[in-house]
Chains A and B, each alone.
Chain A
Amino acid sequence: MIKTDILIIGAGPVGLFTVFEAGLLKLRCHLIDALPYAGGQCAEIYPKKPIYDIPAYPEILAGDLIQNLERQIAPFEPTYTLGERAETIDKLADGNFMVTTNKGTEHSAAAVIIAGGLGSFEPRKPPIAGISDYEDRGVTYMIKDPQTYRNKRVVISGGGDSALDWTIFLANVASEVILVHRKNEFRGALDSVEKVSELAKNGKIKLITEAEVTEIHGDGKVESVVVNHSKEGNIEVPCDYFIPLFGLLPKLGPIANWGLEIEKNAIKVNNALDYSTNIPGIFAVGDVNTYPGKLKLILCGFHEATIAVQFAYNIVNPGKKYLMKYTTVNGITGFNGETKKSEKAVVKSI
């Protein structure tokens, strides 16, 4: 089990900055994130977009902001569990929390700070009646092991890059690949579009455009799907697998089932004091929380994280006195003992 002082759920900008503020209080942090790298939305969605409202940065690319934060927190040696989603939380006999990921990795800490942003990115599921009954019974939203589809009949729906790429890949694996797309044109990479159209021309795959999968049939597992074609009406297509690929959507995910008070798809916190949730020892900061007047801004998340760790300190070190210090006065001392400090020469007497 991974043990730390503060467990941070979410390695976006606010989660990363939490490490810095905790480090000033000599608290060690471990971060969990469903993405395989740190940075959250800044890294996943808009790394090349400039942000204009980070104080003292007239303009900074989201990706650069993350790199800077990683440099800033490096002295505090954060550790990570990446590519795994925080799934469950339990209270242990010693009073600590245990957070377990979807891959079974266990973590324990006295305090948990949720900096989950918009949540974890999950596949967008098409609105087909009963589709959840067929999940893992022929319906899958993510291809993990392509060999699963060897010599099977596969229907893929979607028109983006992942639908095109998997159609191309599975053309040589599955016994039959049918790609269903709502429009007559594809918006994926030109190279992939050309490959798919060539495969269709050579009879390696079948393309059904201007159509949507509207029904799934089968006794306990997928046996066929109904494709509604704009001109030909309903066509029943026998298949073993149906793979809808419509991109990812952020969802609060399993955190919603942790017993936390949720409002407007966000975690309610006490903004008058410490950004604590209704469960003592669990805090929520950044876009994932809500309170009257909440603004979903990175700069607000930085503030919230700074306050929250002062209170998390009391949970990790009950009864131990501490007073917030200025980095201009004391510099920062990393966990490796190295200190960064301002030159005395620049300090004027008052």
Chain B
Amino acid sequence: MSDIKIKIKDRFGVNHLLDAPTDMAMNIMELCKAYDLPVEGTCGGMAMCASCQCYVHSNHELSERGEAEEDMLDQAFFVKENSRLGCQLYLSIEMDGLELELAPES
């Protein structure tokens, strides 16, 4: 079993505990869409729209922001220190128990 648990708070403050496979090369944006959470993923995961922006609330060590992600977050709104683009966070065993919150739509 390669599933991990990811906790996501939606824009109404409702928490969703999601079973997330780590063997399908999925990212957080795709996971949200697969569970019908209101994440547009407009650009398809190229870090070009910020519609999957989320805030990281747990202390998990995540991959560093890449150039494209930094560029996009520079132009996005509601950006905080703990902002990440869901499409750039690929599910891995180390992310088990990760707690995220969807940023407001812009």
Contacts and interface: CB of A to CB of B under 8 A. Distances in A.
Interface of A: 45-46, 49, 118, 124, 126-127, 158-160, 182-183, 187, 246-247, 249-250, 265, 296
Contacts of A159: 74-75
Given A183-B74, A187-B70, A118 B42 contact: yes
A213 B104 CA distance: 18
B77 interface: yes
Chain A CB count within 10 A is highest, among B40, B46, B48, for B48
Interface in B27-44: 40, 42-44
Interface residues of B, number: 17
26 contacts: A45-B46, A45-B48, A46-B46, A49-B46, A118-B42, A126-B77, A127-B77, A127-B78, A127-B104, A127-B106, A158-B75, A159-B75, A160-B71, A182-B74, A182-B79, A183-B74, A187-B70, A187-B74, A246-B77, A247-B75, A249-B42, A249-B49, A250-B42, A250-B49, A265-B40, A296-B44
The A interface is mostly helix, strand or loop, or mixed, namely: loop
B48 A160 contact: no
Contacts of B77: 124, 126-127, 246
Nearest to A162: B75
A246 B79 CA distance: 13
Given A160-B71, A187-B71, A296-B44, 19 more contacts: A45-B43, A45-B48, A118-B42, A124-B75, A127-B77, A127-B78, A158-B75, A159-B74, A159-B75, A160-B74, A160-B75, A182-B74, A183-B74, A187-B70, A246-B76, A246-B77, A249-B42, A250-B42, A265-B40
Nearest to B48: A45
Interface string B52-80: 00000000000000000011001111110
B76 to A, nearest CB: 8
What are the 9 closest A-B residue pairs judged by CB atoms, nearest first?
Answer: A247-B75, A246-B75, A187-B74, A159-B74, A127-B77, A187-B71, A160-B75, A127-B106, A126-B77
A158 B49 CA distance: 16
A314 to B, nearest CB: 34
